[in-house]
Chains A and B, each alone.
Chain A
Amino acid sequence: MTDLAIRCSDAHVNYLVRSNRQLIRSMIRGQKPEVRVIEAVKGVTFDVDVGESVGVIGPNGSGKTSLLQAMTGLLPLNKGEILVKSVPTFLGVQAVLRPQLTGWRNIQLGLLAQGLNKSEAEDMTNSVADFCELDDFLDLPMETFSSGMKARLHFAVATALAPDILLIDEALAVGDRSFQKKSSERLKEHRSKAGTILLVSHNLEEVRQSCQRVIWLENGVVVADGPADDVIEAYETS
């Protein structure tokens, strides 16, 4: 019997949108301000085993990112529950640490933020820096980095501690080819050490290469969940 890494049962995520104009108008009329509810994830259920690598695909606005963020405990669930083996690490494109600080200092901050102490972080900084291959750029403030360079640094920091569960949101797409290759190798290595990966991507080729299983989301519900090739084929022909 394999161990469970993630159990997601009937997860619902709603966003509440307050409109300013409506707030003032409704106050004048003495009504309650109207709040729009946007249902991003509407009852998603699945299990992921330890060591599995699952791709999540679907059109824009289908709830992929919301689902991933709910798994980190970032977005509260409105219904249902998500159980995990340990708190997942989230890796997204918009991830910024401290733009004014140099790459080196951002690496150290990123490691400290994950709960390392000073000397552990010092020890690890060099290997993370080597992995990003940013060399002299690491001496520059991160605000001067290109998006690909930021993604490299962030990927290196997030995977440095080999988290049990890694959630990746389009973060690999911005890297160049050699870095994509390098990062997918690291993910493979990570999986072989019983790491679990959820990968959101619009790059179906990438998903096919790094995941055995794919979940297809649309309008916040699961359309299909199965072997990567089958689901991707169905998605492409839909």
Chain B
Amino acid sequence: MDLLKVGESLSLSEYLKRLWTHRHFMMRVPLEDLRAQNSHTFLGSIWLVLNPLLQVGVYFLVFGLIMPIDRGVDQYLVFLTIGVFVFFHSQRVISESTRSLVINVGLIRTVHFPRAVLPISATVGQALAFIPIFIVMTVVVLAYGNWPHLRWLLIFPVFIIQNAFSLGIGLIGARINHSYRDLENLLPFIFRLLFYISGVLYSVDSVVDDDFWRAIFLLNPMYCLVSLWRWVMVGTSAGGEVWLATGIWSLLALLIGLSAFRSKETTYGGTG
């Protein structure tokens, strides 16, 4: 009679197989959480649309009416909206996956399942929450006379690449945050810094004009993602090297993330 050794980690293929059997769970948890999130508010789920709408409203008020600057960019409001929504989406995926182990410690101690379910389902949740945000973004893009283009076929692939990257970083984050809860406090500042150096508010091309510095910006995956999205939505130039850099970043993040996460898999219910 074969006995299993408790606490022994599964092989990668076995692990991925177990993840697959939990796919219904991974889909259901974020759906339920989204439902519960706004259950105490008067407007309920309408907030999912209202939130990005108000955000754009504020930008319109500030940059369209009060101080109409364009920082050398055509359609600054469109530029800004895409940048901010895309950046914040990755930020939310990464922070939510990072916190997912700590928030769900009750579930971890109760039910046996591959723990990567939690960061993945946090990512799925944010991806679902991005749908209304994406719709608002598209409305802004259309409102400024940017008609649908063949490039729009790449929206979904770019979105997948973005989420793969963010999940990969989130897996690493979750692994660190489990041992050092300090990361949660640090993350907002890291993102604040990234926000300013990723060309969300300004066009990097208008700031740097030598190849060396442009290459340095390619080392920043958030800059790459924001650039790709702008190219797909409104055709702001993004060369092949941006695609390449983003692809490499996503693949690396996912591979390193998964192996870093799995290396501590059996300890996630403990005290860290």
Which residues of A line the B interface, CB within 8 A? Answer: 3-4, 7, 15-16, 69-77, 81-87, 89-92, 94-98, 100-101, 105, 108-110, 112-118, 121, 154, 158
Contact = CB atoms under 8 A, between A and B. Distances in A.
Contacts of B3: 4, 7, 83-85
B109 A113 contact: no
A154 B106 CA distance: 12
Interface in B242-272: 266-267, 269-271
A109 B29 contact: yes
B214 interface: no
Interface of B: 1, 3-8, 18, 21-22, 24-25, 28-29, 32-33, 36, 39, 106-113, 266-267, 269-271
B270 A115 contact: no
Given A96-B106, A113-B113, A121-B24, A73 B6 contact: yes
A73 B18 CA distance: 16
Contacts of A77: 6-7
B113 to A, nearest CB: 6
Nearest to B267: A76
A82 B5 CA distance: 6
A98 B33 contact: yes
Given A70-B7, A115-B22, 5 more contacts: A72-B6, A73-B266, A74-B266, A113-B113, A118-B28
Contact of A105 (B4, B32, B106, B271): B32
B4 A74 contact: no
Contacts of B106: 94-97
Nearest to B2: A85
A219 to B, nearest CB: 20
The 7 A-B residue pairs with the shortest CB-CB distance, nearest first, are: A83-B3, A112-B25, A96-B106, A74-B269, A100-B36, A73-B7, A82-B6
